[in-house]
Every structure is written in C-alpha cells, then in structure tokens.
C-alpha cells in the first residue's frame, strides 16, 4: 500500500526531502515504516508522529493513502 510521509528539520535532510511516497505492506505500523526508511534510531528520541493530523504511538497501524508526518524534537534557546 502507498502512504505519504512528510519529514521536517533534520529528518528532511536525512531523507533527502520533505515529501515521500512510500510503499509498505498492509497492516504495517509506524515502527515498521520508520525501520523501512532507516529512521528507527529516532524511536525513543522524542520523535512525534502524526497520521492525518492526529499524534499517534509507534505501534499505531497505518492504512492505505494516509499521510504520516514525522516531527523531530525542537530545540532552541
């Protein structure tokens, strides 16, 4: 199934852009998607993930056509 992934900040730099179309198997979770994208090191590092604008956990299932936003922690001073 095909999903849209939006990445921001250092994640966009790491993945080579802000918008991605990713093919994943049915019944995949957020964790699986991050592993497939090589971003699993961000798990447990205050990464926020939203599906269609709703913040979800890493075990949340993903459905065909959903928009997943990967939001890294913000730092500032």
| pLDDT recorded at residue 77 | 54
The domain spans of the chain are: 2-71
**What fold does the segment set 2-71 form as a domain?**
Ubiquitin-like (UB roll) (3.10.20)
State pLDDT tens for residues 34-70.
Answer: 999 999 999 888 899 999 999 999 999 999 999 999 9
User: pLDDT > 90: what percent of the chain?
Assistant: 87
b/e sequence 58-67, b meaning 16+ C-beta within 10 Å: bebebeeeee
């Amino acid at each position: 199934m095909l999903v849209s992934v939006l990445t921001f900040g250092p994640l966009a730099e790491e993945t080579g852009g802000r918008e991605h179309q990713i093919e994943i198997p049915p019944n995949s979770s957020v964790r699986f998607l991050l592993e497939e994208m090589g971003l699993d090191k961000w798990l447990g590092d205050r990464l926020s993930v939203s599906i269609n604008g709703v913040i979800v956990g890493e075990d949340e299932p993903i459905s065909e056509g959903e928009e997943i936003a990967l939001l890294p922690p913000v730092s500032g001073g």
